[in-house]
Structure 1
Amino acid sequence: MPKVVDGDERRAHIADAVLRLAARDGLPAVSLRAVAAESGLNIGSVRHYFDSQHALLRFAMRTTIDRTSERLIARRERMPSMTDLPSAEIVGQLAEFLSELLPLDERRRVEVTVLVEFLLAARADPSLDDLAREAVEGTVTLARRALDARARTGRFAPLDPDVEAPRLAALLDGLAFRAVLQPDVAPPEECVAVLRAHLAELFREKG
């Protein structure tokens, strides 16, 4: 009997190959032939699911966004309520949560590297703008939700979320981009320390 191929599994396998290739050699290196070689498939198998480089890139970016979102949701579900936690523990919990967006290990380094490549490509290709905008706005939304949870505790001085949410998002983006573009300048431990210092300022109790 011919082997039954799981389409979703095969697409995910191809997406992983695209991410590795893009992170290692840049988006211009992502072609159907190169992805076939990276994934260990023949080019016909790749073409069966993706008919162009553009389709490959969009699917890889969609996969990256979805995987990151799934990890964040899973982490959020395991986090305790901020209401009764000491400030230091809130900072620790949030730092761990938001660190999903930082390239602190190989998996996240690949994802953030591809995100940087993709955002640069979207500047010149309007057909990629929707996913680029979703990725950028997603970080701001995440920061806004953390600040909304902060406000609900009633324990911290009021602040303007319209300013502080983009500010926290910009810090996360800046740390992530520096860490993939100049890893020697922004090693993982420094990224975490900077994030924790900023969160400690945000979650300093009244009085």
Structure 2
Amino acid sequence: MTLLLKLAESCYKKAVSPRVVDPAARRQAVAEAVFRVVVRDGVEQASLRNVAVEAGLAIGSVRHYFDSHDDMIIFAVDALIHSIQDRVAAHVRSLDDRSDPRRPAERVLSEVLPLDERRRDEAVLWLAFATAARTRPSLLPHAERLYDGLRWLCLRAVSLMAEAGTISASLDLGLEAERLASLLNGLTVDGVLHPDRMTPDLAMSVLRRHLESLSY
């Protein structure tokens, strides 16, 4: 009988013992809930309450990991930036391929265009957060990281093409990087707002044509 009682007590303790929650995983889950709400309904709807519902959590659980609404949104923007940077970084090494630098550049730069569902969602989030940063000073440094990151990527692409001799030596590389970044921004905005007109195939054709034009 004593053995049975001990076994029963052990099972009871396991049943009622609190589940250990990984804080990093929980914060990431909340960030992903922010993404879904923003993509579907816009930044204005990404309140603590709405995000808690989207994540399947009590609002108190969200407040446990984030001190405020701004804290939650800033964490989500930072998570988005790291996600994009990690994926692009995995392709940047291919820019050193000197056999035809335009092809690696095309592949790497296409990572920031809304060519599939994942990249389209990222583009929607980027536009939403960048627009929100105009009136939310706390978001401005993060929006500028995305702005500067795109220009760094474009400058690296055209610089390596220049080193390989596949574009004109007389080009102002800084200006060409700005021109390329502006092109990518325009293709992204059109791809998000007019996906039936700026299709992935058309966006890639425009990017490819621009890179080819640099060698004239």
Q: TM-score of the superposition, structure 2-length normalised?
A: 0.87
User: 1:10-159 to 2 correspondence within 5 Å?
Assistant: 10-77=26-93, 79=94, 81-83=96-98, 85-86=99-100, 90-158=101-169, 159=171
Structure 2 spans left out of the alignment, 5+ residues = 1-16
Q: CA deviation at 1:155?
A: 4.3
Matched residue count: 199
Question: Once superposed, which parts of structure 1, at least 4 consecutive aligned residues long, lie more than 3 Å away?
Answer: none
Deviations 1:91-138 (A, max 9, x none): 332222111111112111111111111111111122221111111111
Q: CA deviation at 1:184?
A: 1.5
- Classify 1:5/1:97 alpha carbon distance in 2 versus 1 (closer, same or farther; 3 Å): same
Structure with bigger gyration radius: 2
1:184 and 2:196 aligned: yes
Aligned-pair identity in percent equals 42
One-letter code aligned to 1:51: D
User: Does the CA-based 8 Å contact 2:74-2:138 persist in structure 1?
Assistant: no
Structure 1 spans left out of the alignment, 5+ residues = none
One-letter code aligned to 2:97: M
Counterpart-to-counterpart distance in 2, 1:165 and 1:93: 16
Q: TM-score of the superposition, structure 1-length normalised?
A: 0.90
Counterpart-to-counterpart distance in 2, 1:58 and 1:49: 13
Aligned to 2:13: none
Give RMSD over aligned pairs.
Answer: 1.5
Aligned to 1:163: 175
User: Does the CA-based 8 Å contact 1:82-1:150 persist in structure 2?
Assistant: no
Counterpart-to-counterpart distance in 1, 2:166 and 2:128: 40
Counterpart-to-counterpart distance in 2, 1:142 and 1:81: 13
Aligned to 2:184: 172
